[in-house]
Copies of this chain bind each other. A is one copy, B any other.
Amino acid sequence: MTDTMKQIVLASYAKGNPKPSDFRLEEVPIPTAGERKILLRTLWLAVDPLFRFAIDEVRLSGALHLELGDVMVGATVSEVVASNHPDYAPGDVVEGRTGWRQYAVVAPDQADYRGPPRKLDPSLAPVSTALGVLGMPGQTAHGGIETLRIKPGETVAISAAAGAVGSIAGQIAKIHGARAVGIAGGAGKVQALLDLGFDGAADYKAPDFAAQLKAAAPNGIDCYFDNTGGDVTLEVFKQLNRGSRMAMCGYIAYYGMGYEGPGPDHMPALYRTIMGTGLEIRGFAGFMAGQKALDDIAGWISDGKLTYPEAVVEGIEAAPQAFASVFSGHDFVGKLLVKVAEPA
């Protein structure tokens, strides 16, 4: 343990897709834990596209917003190094949201709605899964699928299906008896989805995307698990059946746009689709799911019904590039993780 640590701060607000140069590496003293606080050493870091909204120059009402120079926000798995709090002991491994830094001090008594750092059992599953299938992305997949009220035999389409949430959502849809159809960018990802057990897949970057989707969902789409918005969603709208349902779990196509994007306005398509099909739309965010979602997922993993691809990059210095690649496109399937350190 040295006296200083690395952290990554916001250097400039993102314009459009985030770039590595929007961030800056700093070397600062390792903090010490005061009364009823704990000192955490980061092991794993998630680069969730969700946090794009926090680095936009325009502050959205009610949403987390960083000032320039603030440490970038992000979900982490950490090891307790020192504890002045009775609920935590050195050596405990916890999941929290301590951001892009090697060490952080947390006050468990002053937790927000997500609660204090969640203690993990390393004997149950690799602790990195707390940032993916056994964490917020898994909860989003589980809860979003639940809002769809799938009937066996229905077709469920999933956008960003090769992502951390989508790759799990498709498998859970199959557990509910659905035909799972994944949408992703590139022939390699389409093949990876089929390898994961998806019943069909379509490449949204291909010129014949609409035909690919129709071939993958020959009976039309009954349920739509949406992580993107944008052109993918507009095509899905055209292939929905009557009485369809949509779970809105992300909108990577619109991150960084504020409330308006470049025209034309596609709201008429939304209204025609909803009125024409009776489509029902619900928003779902991972924090709305509880422990039951994690218990279900753990059971499915141990039953061999659910696999969780992970891609790992090494070192905290790699976080800005990894984060940017989530927006600019990459070839990873599943959850993209930054390995910051080995457990002591």
Q: How many copies does the complex hold?
A: 2
8 Å CB contact of A279 from B63, B269, B283: B283
Instruction: List chain B residues, Cβ under 8 A from A288.
Output: 278
Contacts of A267 in B (CB 8 A): 229-230, 254, 261, 265-267, 270
B274 with A259: CB separation less than 8 A? no
| Residues of A259-308 contacting chain B, CB below 8 A | 259-272, 274-283, 285, 288
Contacts A251-B275, A271-B248 known; A264 to B262 CB distance under 8 Å?
yes
Question: Could you tell me if B254 and A268 are in contact, using CB atoms closer than 8 angstroms?
Answer: yes
Residues of B close to A285: CB separation below 8 A = 275, 278
* Contact call B275/A269, Cβ cutoff below 8 A: no
Q: A280-B280, A280-B283, A283-B277 are in contact. Are A266 and B268 (CB under 8 A)?
A: no
Q: A257 at the A/B interface (Cβ < 8 Å)?
A: yes
> Does A258 sit within 8 A of B, measured CB to CB?
yes
Would you call A62 an interface residue if the criterion is a C-beta within 8 Å of the partner chain's C-beta atoms? Answer: yes
Once A262-B263, A268-B261 are accepted as A-B contacts, the answer to whether A62 and B254 lie under 8 Å apart by CB is no
> A268 near B276 (CB under 8 angstroms)?
no
Residues of A52-100 whose CB lies within 8 A of B: 60, 62-63
Could you tell me if A265 and B260 are in contact, using CB atoms closer than 8 angstroms?
A: yes
Interface set, chain A 211-250, CB cutoff 8 A to B: 229-230, 234, 248, 250
- Bound-state Cα–Cα, A277 to B277, Å: 24
A258 — which chain B residues lie within 8 A by C-beta?
268
A292 to chain B, nearest CB (A): 19
Query: Which of chain B's residues have a CB closer than 8 A to the CB of A259?
Result: 234, 266, 268-269, 272
Q: Are B279 and A280 in contact (CB under 8 A)?
A: no
Q: Which residues of B contact A268 (CB under 8 A)?
A: 229, 251, 254, 257-261
Q: Say whether A276 contacts B63, CB under 8 Å.
A: yes
Interface centre among A234, A271, A275, A279 (most CB of B within 10 A): A271
The CA of A136 and the CA of B254, in the complex, are separated in Å by 37
Instruction: Give Cα A266 to B258, complex, Å.
Output: 10
Of all chain B residues, the one with the shortest Cβ separation from A281 is B281
The one of B250, B251, B262, B275 that contacts A248, using a Cβ cutoff of 8 Å: B275
Q: Considering the complex, give the chain B residue whose CB is closest to the CB of A252.
A: B271
The smallest beta-carbon distance between A55 and chain B, in angstroms, is 16
Please, which residue of chain B has its CB at the minimum distance from the CB of A258? B268
Q: Whole-angstrom distance from the CB of A286 to the nearest CB of chain B? A: 11
Bound form: Cα–Cα A107–B285 in Å: 52
B residues less than 8 Å from A281 (CB atoms): 274, 280-282
Chain B proximity of A144: nearest CB distance (Å): 11
Check B262–A274 contact: CB distance below 8 A: no
Contacts A261-B267, A266-B267, A278-B282 aside, 11 further interface pairs with beta carbons under 8 A come to A60-B276, A63-B276, A229-B267, A248-B271, A248-B274, A251-B272, A254-B271, A257-B268, A262-B265, A263-B263, A279-B283
8 intermolecular pairs with C-beta atoms under 8 Å apart:
A251-B268, A259-B269, A260-B266, A260-B269, A262-B263, A266-B266, A274-B282, A275-B285
- Give the top 9 A-B pairs by smallest Cβ distance, nearest first: A263-B263, A251-B271, A254-B268, A274-B283, A261-B265, A260-B264, A259-B269, A281-B281, A257-B268
